[in-house]
Amino acid sequence: MFSTKTSPVTVKNINPKVRNCVYGVRGEIVDRAHRLEGILKADPGLHPFKEIVYCNTGNPQSLGQKPITFFGQVLALLENPNLLSKDGIHRLFSSDAITRASELLELIPGRAPGAYSHVQGIKGLREQIVVGITARDGFPAKSEDIFLTDGASAGVHIMMELLISSERDGILCPIPQYPLFSASIALHGGTLVPYYLDESRDWRLDIFDVKKQIESYRDKGICCRAMVVINPGNPTGQVLTEEDQREIVDFCKKEGLVLLADEVYQENVYVKTKKFCSFKKISRSMGYGDSDISLVSFQSASTGYYGYCGRRGGYMEVTGFNTAVRDQIYKLASLSICSNITGQILTTLIMNPPKLGDESYHTFIKEKNLILSSFANCAKKLEDCFNSLEGVSCNKVEGAMYLFPRIHLPNKAIQAAQFELLQPDEFYALKLLDSTGIVVVPGSGFRQESGTWHIRCTLLPQEDQIPSIVSNIKSFHQSFMKEFRD
Amino acid sequence: MFSTKTSPVTVKNINPKVRNCVYGVRGEIVDRAHRLEGILKADPGLHPFKEIVYCNTGNPQSLGQKPITFFGQVLALLENPNLLSKDGIHRLFSSDAITRASELLELIPGRAPGAYSHVQGIKGLREQIVVGITARDGFPAKSEDIFLTDGASAGVHIMMELLISSERDGILCPIPQYPLFSASIALHGGTLVPYYLDESRDWRLDIFDVKKQIESYRDKGICCRAMVVINPGNPTGQVLTEEDQREIVDFCKKEGLVLLADEVYQENVYVKTKKFCSFKKISRSMGYGDSDISLVSFQSASTGYYGYCGRRGGYMEVTGFNTAVRDQIYKLASLSICSNITGQILTTLIMNPPKLGDESYHTFIKEKNLILSSFANCAKKLEDCFNSLEGVSCNKVEGAMYLFPRIHLPNKAIQAAQFELLQPDEFYALKLLDSTGIVVVPGSGFRQESGTWHIRCTLLPQEDQIPSIVSNIKSFHQSFMKEFRD
């Protein structure tokens, strides 16, 4: 008689979509870095470096960036609203932080920031966010369109879950891309339809190439449902021109595509020649309203100058869907009941920071500018560093938080990588880690044009660390080339 | 020539699994309650009640329950760690809250609670949680097994995503059940294999019935992968006996099922004859180790006496999977980068509340006991109320946060409901809302034995509200029966 018992869970009998999903940013290299960190603590002399320098994820507060004082004060007060009625809080909190916390508390039903909120987030907070969006864009926004989410990732997963029924549903994605998108598409069983950003033209997008890709995938029976645009670009750091944005909007409208706009780096622009424009602003300024184009804009409290990654705040602004589809998005959001309230409050604050005249304003502006100028300086110094290296070229970082230099690896290095069953840029990144303690992400984690190799390096290290990082990268690269030069 | 444009997104062309997924707790009735609340504000005299009384979700702080002082203080300090070095905090915070916040801060890498953490949560916090679990169970736990999650829901979705490949994968679920499970199974395309709790035996589970269900579904080509057990029960409020738990463990082991133990109400037990035992404790006390049974225990910061729903804290303890499968769970968790840090801290605190000798201990115990005794009193009074009604019977609430009375609805009411295209208990709940402002969830949202009708009512209203709730329910039911009695 056969056993009728269920087989134990193995990788072979789990959901194949889970198995096939790859999420490159937090992989083998990070694990190795953590192990090395442990070894360094136990035996500081064992490696040629004293500490691990994490340039792999956009996680500024982990690298010593101080939180914005005003945000931290308001959050603390709303974590424990009892404080608001205590004597002595004026010694510890600025008067506008106290006022803001009191005002926000009134917007929270039952004055209870510990309670579940509305599925989309607290209505009064969404109304504040809408004020921020309207001020940014000069076009109205609606609180019903805002879904507060745990970071931007949660919103992206919801949209992929909604739009993808099978591998016949395609999602246009820039290559290189933030791997959350490829991972989420794979997990939901869809097809990533790549469009390539042109490295030789500062990672510009060519709408004709996008159109060709749609058509070529259509011939394979894959129908594109949506187009992902990351602006400012991650990992590529370019900022779209308004002209390019208008082309994209027209294209999505004409093709009937949902435009999924990852706009989480909207505060991170470092060049005077460019500024951030939301796709909502662009489309509205072209005269397109809610019924003309389906557009989802993602924003996050993890990015910007604030970098409150661990608080998992964010929102998506969902426009241009009919009520029945909107109800389905609502249902998907309701499966996590609501996003965390700390994140909801923080997202409200980043969209409505202190204003001229507020007690905290000058401190706030000073802190914000210090952070953003540190990012810009770091970008410049690392750009120069990479561009000075043999066989390395790095486009100008216009925005976001990353450098994405191309490494022309010698054949000998490529062969050595193949021998170790590694991608060549993974091999390079592991060698860099082992020699210097610097952690970067191999370009293969983001996908890249075939035969090209990159690394992604954040521009977040504190400024006093930059000289040693630059000198370590330089001497590592020299000895790497010495070893592997063809 | 045919248009090759993508069709606009409609409910017909979205992911059918999304369309088929039903999540009943936050549905039509809640929307109606919100609308009524708006109307009451504008025109207080328009309805026969003055306010909406939310007895639908386990959201205690929204109903006036005060947060635990110690938890709120530690959270506020870690929201803004600068406070720890300020003069004057001793006026505002207890000394053990300050000590605890300082200790926890040292466990947070870079002393930066605003940063992303390890995918599973901050290691030092997981180590503290493990201390709490070990103290609870008397058996060791491991920090590597803990995945901190945004509420318990996030963990449940991860496990369903992992285990379900297609509709041929079955998940055993109690009926009635918390609809997160049915919704998550539907969303991931699996089959809910029901096992019925026996209302006539205080919602006991009969393992022979479970076995029959497995076999009958196996005959239909559906293989059960996991068994969900909710203990204490939601919505049914029973607490399993240790004997029943041992039977379940043996059964899962024998059948090769993953045991998914929803243990979020572990602190909510109201009867002296029962106490909560984790399935981990039961299985270890039976001599089963990590290699004998795959067991996932879910815990949440939303439940217990603390009721910090909006902070979205929780964890799952994942034991009995091989490394390769564990890596897949890790990958799924990594797709949301990490859970929110406020929730991580709170989860650490609930598993390690103040101890005898700590400055806050007496206040803490007083607050905790006040909440739990209010829950127990409310349960008793509402139980008596429901049992006094014509055609209504309500089992004793042993634990969790809900009453789940059965309503024997007259045929005339059932026909009236059918006429309005409503489930009979939905019809009853809507009438109750319209007459009294009291919001409950119809039993059909949780599934129930065919031909039986229930409502789920929380035991969370503040004690001074209970007399009027009881009297409103009684007079509503009398007039309902007068109108519909056969």
Instruction: Please write the tens of the pLDDT for every residue from A296-351.
Output: 999 999 999 999 999 999 999 999 999 999 999 999 999 999 999 999 999 999 99
Instruction: Please write the tens of the pLDDT for every residue from B349-387.
Output: 999 999 999 999 999 999 999 999 999 999 999 999 999
Residue B31: pLDDT band with limits 50, 70, 90? confident
Residue A193 CA to residue A217 CA, distance in Å, equals 7
Maximum CA extent, chain A: 82
Q: Is 0.85 exceeded by the ipTM?
A: yes
Rg over CA atoms, chain B:
23
Residue A446: pLDDT band with limits 50, 70, 90? very high
Predicted confidence at residue A441, as pLDDT, reads 94
Contact indicator for B230, B179 with CB cutoff of 8 Å: no
> What is the average per-residue pLDDT within A467-482?
97
Put simply, the answer to whether B117 touches A4 (Cβ < 8 Å) is no
* Chain B contact for A115 (CB, 8 A cutoff): yes
Predicted confidence at residue B25, as pLDDT, reads 62
Predicted confidence at residue B141, as pLDDT, reads 98
Q: In terms of Cα–Cα distance, which of B396, B382, B136 is closest to B267?
A: B136
> Average pLDDT of chain A?
95
pLDDT at A276 over 90: yes
Q: Higher model confidence: residue A44 or residue B212? A: B212
Question: In 10 A of CB A381, how many CB atoms?
Answer: 17
Q: In terms of Cα–Cα distance, which of A139, A107, A119 is closest to A331?
A: A119
Distances in Å between the Cα of A249 and the Cα atoms of A43, A278, A338, B14 are 56, 11, 31, 22
DSSP state of A221: T
**Minimum Cα–Cα distance from B84: chain A residue:** A92
Predicted confidence at residue B227, as pLDDT, reads 98
> What is the average per-residue pLDDT within B49-60?
92
Predicted confidence at residue A26, as pLDDT, reads 62
- The verdict on domain B11-64+369-484 having CATH code 3.90.1150.10 is yes
Instruction: Please write the tens of the pLDDT for every residue from A229-269.
Output: 999 999 999 999 999 999 999 999 999 999 999 999 999 99
pLDDT at A46 over 90: no
> What is the average per-residue pLDDT within B422-440?
96
Percent of chain A past pLDDT 90, that is, above it, reads 92
Q: How far from the centroid of its chain's Cα atoms is residue B41's Cα?
A: 31
Return the beta strands (E) in B285-330 as ranges: 295-300, 314-319
Identify all chain B residues contacting A17, using CB atoms and an 8 Å cutoff.
Answer: 165
Dihedral, CA atoms, B67, B69, B74, B79, nearest 10 degrees? 50
In chain B, which among 356-415 make CB contacts under 8 A with chain A? none
Predicted confidence at residue A453, as pLDDT, reads 98
Domain ranges of chain A: 11-64+368-484, 116-351
Put simply, the answer to whether B61 touches A110 (Cβ < 8 Å) is yes
Where is average pLDDT lowest: A378-382, B19-23, B176-180, B477-481?
B19-23
> What is the average per-residue pLDDT within B105-129?
96
Nearest CA of chain A to the CA of B386: how many Å?
27
Instruction: Please write the tens of the pLDDT for every residue from B169-191.
Output: 999 999 999 999 999 999 999 99
> What is the average per-residue pLDDT within B215-237?
97
In chain A, which among 21-60 make CB contacts under 8 A with chain B? 21, 23, 26, 57, 59-60
Put simply, the answer to whether B76 touches A77 (Cβ < 8 Å) is yes
> What is the average per-residue pLDDT within A347-358?
97
Interface test with A, best of B84, B150, B439 (most A CBs within 10 A): B150
Residue A2: pLDDT band with limits 50, 70, 90? very low
Contacts of A387 (CB under 8 A, 6+ apart): A393, A394, A405
Residue B2: pLDDT band with limits 50, 70, 90? very low
B275 token code pair: 């106490």
Predicted confidence at residue B24, as pLDDT, reads 66
Q: In terms of Cα–Cα distance, which of A154, A162, A170, A185 is closest to A325?
A: A162
Residue B205 CA to residue B175 CA, distance in Å, equals 10
In chain B, which among 188-207 make CB contacts under 8 A with chain A? 188
pLDDT at B88 over 90: no
Residue A33: pLDDT band with limits 50, 70, 90? very high
- Tell me which residue has tokens 């044009």: A449
Nearest residue, CB atoms, B8 vs list A4, A69, A256:
A256
Q: How far from the centroid of its chain's Cα atoms is residue A360's Cα?
A: 28
Distances in Å between the Cα of B446 and the Cα atoms of A337, A420, B455 are 16, 53, 9
* Chain B contact for A470 (CB, 8 A cutoff): no
> What is the average per-residue pLDDT within B410-427?
96
**Minimum Cα–Cα distance from A76: chain B residue:** B76
- The verdict on domain A116-351 having CATH code 3.40.640.10 is yes
Burial of B156 by CB count in 10 Å (0-12 exposed, 13-18 middle, 19+ buried)? Answer: buried
pLDDT at B228 over 80: yes
Helix (H, G, I), strand (E, B) or coil at B164: coil
**Minimum Cα–Cα distance from A332: chain B residue:** B18
> Average pLDDT of chain B?
95
Where is average pLDDT lowest: A357-366, A472-481, B57-66?
B57-66
Instruction: Please write the tens of the pLDDT for every residue from B282-315.
Output: 999 999 999 999 999 999 999 999 999 999 999 9
Question: In 10 A of CB B74, how many CB atoms?
Answer: 30
> What is the average per-residue pLDDT within B94-119?
96
* Chain B contact for A322 (CB, 8 A cutoff): yes
Helix (H, G, I), strand (E, B) or coil at B302: coil
Helical (H) or strand (E) element with B474 = helix B466-484
Predicted confidence at residue A17, as pLDDT, reads 94
In order, the DSSP letters of A161-202 are HHH-SSTTEEEEEEES--HHHHHHHHHTT-EEEEEE-BGGGT
> What is the average per-residue pLDDT within B239-262?
97
Predicted confidence at residue A135, as pLDDT, reads 97
pLDDT at A146 over 70: yes
Residue B60 CA to residue B459 CA, distance in Å, equals 9
Put simply, the answer to whether B6 touches A119 (Cβ < 8 Å) is no
Pairing of strands A295-300, A258-262: parallel
Q: Which CATH architecture has domain A11-64+368-484?
A: Alpha-Beta Complex (3.90)
Q: How far from the centroid of its chain's Cα atoms is residue B193's Cα?
A: 20
Q: Quick one: angle between helices B411-419 and B424-436, nearest 10?
A: 90
